[in-house]
Amino acid sequence: MEITITKTKSPKNPPADSDLSFGNLFTDHMFLMDYDPKVGWHNARIEPYSAFHIDPSTMVLHYGQSIFEGLKAYQSDESDILLFRPQENFRRLNRSARRLCIPEIDEGFALSALRQLIEIEKAWVPKAPGTSLYIRPAVIATDPYLGVKASETYRFFIILSPVGAYYKNGFKPLKIWVSKDRVRAVRGGIGEAKTAGNYAASLFESTFAAEQGCDQVLWLDGIEHKYVQEVGSMNIFFVIDGELVTPALDGSILPGITRDSLLKHAKSNGMNAVERAISIEEVVEKAKSGQLQEAFGTGTAAIISPVGQLQYKDKEVVIGDGDVGFLTTKLYDELLKMQYGRVEDAHNWVVPAVSTALL
């Protein structure tokens, strides 16, 4: 499919890298295409970034039929712009699409459209350490209709946002609130899809956690309120007796690409890395006995976020010495080096962001 390109007549100046935070600034252009059952995905275009004109009855506004992805473009020391496993993001977008009755996109085409967009916006890729260009592909249901059913029409779009750290305190241990009453997702629900509703479901408890002086919520399973699922909008890892442990994907947990990368990286570097059910009681006991040495969250936006303390019922559970752990720091450094192209890419995860050649 041909991509029509219309450039802005009033380009903005990209911000100074030192002014960047997360998700509040957008580049000059965006990619769009529309879906209609008669013609499929069509009208692929890159246009100046602007507001959508939508009807108040548009289905996504009422029933949340919406999916998205998050990935980043990184500026390497050699001035190349790199993407980290972008094919995985478009593959996951299609898995979310199937779960939400949204028509799938052509993954290869979406990646080449993203590359054309980044080519136009390359001046917006920040260079300072820890900064990147956050990429947000999304699909929304666009039928103007109030009956509950899958929409017939959709819009796919990609917007770009230069970002610094996700958490304003940077790489500091988080204090985590363990949610015992409210849940994010249940097996068989939509927890493993990257869809708006999962994030809406997290807001009440996150606000409550903040009122208790905590930074994020640790979610437990929706049936027994016993097994650890995710932390905030990240996957969770524990270091127990030197072994890296993360909850097994059970249908209610987002299959994070950073999660998968860390598991593979750790295993290929000779570490024991396991996916299994892990109960909150085990976490508390092993923290007490000193066997739980470290914990951290992983995600594209936040990368790796150390966890220093859990607040569970009325107990404060300190992890390790409450500070950033050795392995957390090591894995964070190694992941960043891979993403910024500073080490040999043993897994072939890093691809150029501006070449149109499909890999």
> Which residues, 223 to 242, sit near ligand COI by CB under 6 A?
233
Strands 132-141 and 66-68, sheet pairing? antiparallel
Mark the segment that binds ligand COI (CB under 6 A) among 85-93, 175-183, 296-304, 341-349.
296-304
Helix (H, G, I), strand (E, B) or coil at 272: coil
Which of 131, 229, 252, 300 is the binder for ligand COI (CB under 6 A)? 300
- Site mask, ligand COI, residues 250-289, x = CB under 6 A? ----------------------------------------
Phi, psi of 224 (to 5 degrees): -100, -10
Compute the chain's Rg from CA coordinates. 21
Provide the strand spans (E) within 209-299.
216-220, 228-231, 234-240, 243-247, 273-276, 292-299
Cβ-based burial of 99 (10 A; exposed 0-12, middle 13-18, buried ≥19): middle
> Which residues, 108 to 137, sit near ligand COI by CB under 6 A?
none
Kindly tell me which of 67 and 292 has the beta carbon lying closer to ligand COI. Answer: 67
Q: How far is the CB of 301 from ligand COI (least distance, A)?
A: 3
Kindly tell me which of 161 and 179 has the beta carbon lying closer to ligand COI. Answer: 161
Cβ-based burial of 52 (10 A; exposed 0-12, middle 13-18, buried ≥19): exposed
Helix (H, G, I), strand (E, B) or coil at 12: coil
Kindly tell me which of 195 and 293 has the beta carbon lying closer to ligand COI. Answer: 195
Smallest CA-to-CA distance from 327 within 348, 358, 298 is with: 298
DSSP-H helix ranges across 8-85: 59-63
Residue linked to tokens 């998968």: 260
Mark the segment that binds ligand COI (CB under 6 A) among 91-99, 109-117, 270-278, 298-306.
298-306
Which of 231, 301, 319, 331 is the binder for ligand COI (CB under 6 A)? 301
Mark the segment that binds ligand COI (CB under 6 A) among 202-210, 213-221, 294-302, 337-345.
294-302
Phi, psi of 138 (to 5 degrees): -155, 155
For position 70 contacting ligand COI by CB under 6 A, the verdict is yes
Q: How far is the CB of 202 from ligand COI (least distance, A)?
A: 9
The site for ligand COI, by CB under 6 A, has a size of 6
Mark the segment that binds ligand COI (CB under 6 A) among 75-83, 113-121, 183-191, 295-303.
295-303
- Which residues are near ligand COI by CB under 6 A? 70, 199, 233, 299-301
